[in-house]
Structure 1
Amino acid sequence: MFPRGEKNEAYQEVFTGISYLAPLVDESLPVSVSHVTFEPKARNHWHIHDGGYQILLVTEGEGWYQEEGQPARHLKAGDVVVTHDFVKHWHGATRSSWFSHIAITAGTPLWLEAVSDEQYEVTE
């Protein structure tokens, strides 16, 4: 439905595994809208959104979303996640499935530490 995009080299240092990024709107807007695709086991680092929020609209596959101190939430196509300002979280694919979502993001993402293999393995 949406393009996979190019290999996500611009943000590779804050992702574990391989992901793809397809911006969907003009960068001059005060909000970013992108289609993000994760290969199996790929995930982004823990992060927060400073002065904004993030909405994830899951389009394909299966993935995980976790807020700090909470159990991971299993995601599938049609699920919606809303992350509020300054909530530490991560998201990515399951071990056996590709995972794609539309990310609608306002504010500045502040990237933190990687999700360790030990943290990730608890999700399944």
Structure 2
Amino acid sequence: MINCSAQNPLKADQNKLNFIFPKGKLGPVENFTGKAWSIGLVENDSIYNTVIGNVFFEPGARSNWHRHPSGQILIITDGKGYHQIKGQPRQILKKGDVVKCPPNVEHWHGASPDTGMLQQYILPKTEKGIVTWLNKVTDEEYIGSKK
């Protein structure tokens, strides 16, 4: 017999997170593993040259490796997740963390395996470009080193 609550752990997880904004649109499978929902909050324009949005990563969801010409700022508003800059150890993220991803540096971010993550992102100086998507994060990279 299958326990119904075990079939739907995501619903319980979503109820624990403090959603400030609507989930938005599902991110493309070409750029994400698992389900990541994104909504734009400030669209790019020639006055501010900044993009701001909100992303909900379901448990286990993560972005591909990517880079931003002018960097990226992440503000974790709820849940638990990970961030990694290429060549550095994976970092654990939690509510209240702020991460500065340097310009043109490969990185990824996403939720932990058992807890979703809500984040806001800020992309400054968009006249230099927005994002270059790269390879998927492997399971080994996502799980991290056991050392």
Change (3 A) 1:123 1:93: farther
Instruction: Tell me the equivalent position of 1:118.
Output: 140
Q: How many pairs are equivalent?
A: 122
Cα separation, 1, equivalents of 2:145 and 2:55: 20
Give me the TM-score of the superposition, normalised by structure 2.
0.77
Q: Which protein has the bigger strand share?
A: 1
Instruction: Tell me the equivalent position of 1:41.
Output: 60
Matched, 1:5 2:27: no
Structure 2: stretches of 5+ with no match in the other structure: 1-18
- Could you say what secondary structure the match of 2:30 adopts? helix
Higher RCO (C-alpha 8 Å, min separation 6) = 1
The one-letter code of the counterpart of 2:55 is: V
RMSD: 1.6
1:60–1:100 Cα contact (<8 Å) kept? yes
Change (3 A) 1:66 1:39: same
Instruction: Tell me the equivalent position of 1:17.
Output: 34
Q: Which protein has the bigger helix share?
A: 2
Q: How does 1:76-115 map to 2 (within 5 A)?
A: 76-106=94-124, 107-115=129-137
1:35–1:102 Cα contact (<8 Å) kept? yes
Change (3 A) 1:12 1:32: farther
Cα separation, 2, equivalents of 1:108 and 1:19: 18
Cα separation, 2, equivalents of 1:72 and 1:79: 14
Percent identical across equivalent pairs?
A: 38
The one-letter code of the counterpart of 2:38 is: L
1:4–1:20 Cα contact (<8 Å) kept? no
1:8–1:20 Cα contact (<8 Å) kept? yes
Cα separation, 2, equivalents of 1:7 and 1:116: 24
Give me the TM-score of the superposition, normalised by structure 1.
0.90
Cα separation, 2, equivalents of 1:4 and 1:92: 18
Q: CA deviation at 1:26?
A: 3.0
Instruction: Decide which moves more: 19-28 or 31-40.
Output: 19-28
Cα separation, 2, equivalents of 1:120 and 1:21: 21
